[in-house]
Amino acid sequence: MRHGWRVETASGVRDAELACELTSFDLVVTDIHMTDGDGFEVMCSVQKTSPTTAVILLTAFGNVPEAVESMRIGAFDYLMKPVSFEQLQAAAARVMERINKKTVSNKLLENSANEGIANCGIVGRSPLLLQALQRARAAASTDADVLIEAESGTGKELLAKFICQTSNRSNKPFIALNCAAVPEALLESELFGHVKGAFTGADTTKAGKFELADGGTLLLDEIGEMPLNLQPKLLRILQEREFERLGETRPIHVNIRIIATTNASLGAMVEQGRFRSDLYYRLNVIPLSIPSLRERMDDIPILARYFAEKFAVEIDNEAPLLDPGFIERLQTYSWPGNVRELANFMRRVLSLHQGVIIDAGCFDKEFRPLGKGQAARQAMVAPGMPISVLERMHLENTLALTHGNRTHAAEMLGISLRTMRNKIKEYGLPPRRLA
């Protein structure tokens, strides 16, 4: 070892590829022209086996287009021979500087995220997730309103709790309201409250969510389901931080931070006339997102073990070992329902296979995106069948798949809970959870 570097040599392309398969290197220096191939082959091989390894290409016949192309496809540097020791040493120093900066950056990301992850239930260590948490933590340091747009099942409410817990409002109320879960006729009262006698059935004075959240954070889940007639009132609160209870003219001032979430694109809804543009821009002060599970597949082993331990406690069992074959099976599926779908699957597996080891066979037995009944009904679909019949069948299939859970069925279909209720009523399906 000289000058702090441990050096290994290879006689050609094949020897270099074998060495890189057996050992992880910080830096590979390779000539472009060799008897059994070229340096570009070495670089491609290194990028596959060790993406973080830097590659420096050497050549005595260099040209500008080749240099540009080599940098484009991932070379750290491109040097013309003869190369002095000082040149190589300087290039190696730049590699180490990059490695150190990346290590420090990743450590800061993990430390920043870990301060809030344990308490809010977000599990994972993928770079995309850590970056989302770092951005959320930066948002938490302000009082600006936040809009979280992400797919269903990714953990939008958990991210909202993370923001609250890492903000200066962490010891103040955190109030949540699902705008799609409350019937439209009751939503205004839920938000703003009412005084006694404000409407039929208002037997007592009731504080609304805005009033209950005073001093803290109000989460408006599925904000895209906010009726158009209520959106101007919400806009006023965002601008003035005041409102009136139903049946009262006295304004109530509140000091709240609003976090809104949606699995739809509010920008697209604005273009379609389904959401007010002024409200959208007022909510979208700090836009955030959280990656889908298919974008962070490396987190699946961590999540699987987390859910295995969590659900084992629920059924009063020891947490089982998860066989590598089982983990591999989990990582072959895209999980369109994201973390929620994975959690439900793990709960099923832990409930039905209470052994010491959960293996690939357990996955094969329990993983059925479509049950036999749904598959049989789908096989009955024929060209020319009325759209209403197809829609009803698809609705029934999805409800059966979720065991009648309308909230999960609505998320799978990409519609609101209110739309789900209307469709159930329209087609005369059972109003309660199916067996």
Residue 120 in this model has a pLDDT that exceeds 80: no
How much is the average pLDDT of 218-239? 92
pLDDT tens, position by position, 254-311: 999 999 999 988 999 999 999 999 999 999 999 999 999 999 998 999 899 989 888 8
d(CA 279, CA 236) in angstroms, rounded, equals 9
Vertex 45: Cα angle to 91 and 330 (nearest 5): 120
Spatial separation of the C-alpha atoms in residues 95 and 369, rounded to whole Å: 47
- State residue 18 phi and psi, 5-degree precision: -65, -45
pLDDT digits (tens, 9 = 90+) for 395-430: 887 787 777 778 777 877 778 778 888 888 887 776
By DSSP bridging, strand 242-243 and strand 252-253 are antiparallel
Bigger pLDDT: 214 vs 401: 214
More confident residue, 230 or 92: 230
Q: How far apart are CA 43 and CA 22, in angstroms?
A: 16
The residue-averaged pLDDT of 94-118 equals: 55
Looking at the predicted structure, is the pLDDT value of residue 367 above 50? yes
Q: Which residues contact 323 (CB under 8 A, 6 or more apart)?
A: 357, 358, 359, 360
What stretches of 193-251 show up as alpha helix (H) in DSSP? 209-212, 231-240
% of the chain exceeding 90 in pLDDT: 26
In this structure, of 97-111, 131-145, 195-209, 344-358, the range with the lowest mean pLDDT score is 97-111
Q: Mean pLDDT score of the chain, rounded to an integer?
A: 81
Which amino acid is it at 312? A
According to the model, what pLDDT value does residue 219 have?
96
Q: Residue 293's pLDDT is what?
A: 93
Comparing CA positions, the residue from 421, 430, 411, 423 lying closest to residue 150 is 411
pTM, two decimals, is: 0.62
304-341 pLDDT, tens digit per residue, is: 998 988 888 888 888 888 888 899 889 888 888 899 99
Q: What is the pLDDT confidence band of residue 103, given thresholds at 50, 70 and 90?
A: low
CB-CB contact of 266 with 149 (8 Å) = yes
Q: Which residues contact 77 (CB under 8 A, 6 or more apart)?
A: 54, 56, 57, 91, 94
Q: Tell me which amino acid residue 263 is.
A: N
Separation between Cα atoms, residue 134 and residue 204, nearest integer Å:
44
- pLDDT at 69 (0 to 100): 65
For the stretch 231-246, pLDDT in tens is: 999 999 999 999 888 8
From residue 206, alpha-carbon distances to 249, 253, 368, 398 in Å are 15, 16, 46, 37
Gap between the Cα atoms of 213 and 191, Å rounded: 10
Q: In this structure, what token pair is assigned to residue 294?
A: 């298919």
Domains of the chain: 13-100 (3.40.50.2300), 121-288 (3.40.50.300), 294-366 (1.10.8.60), 376-426 (1.10.10)
Question: By the 8 A CB rule, do 269 and 279 touch?
Answer: no
pLDDT at residue 4, as a whole number:
62
Most confident by average pLDDT, 20-24, 25-29, 42-46, 234-238: 234-238
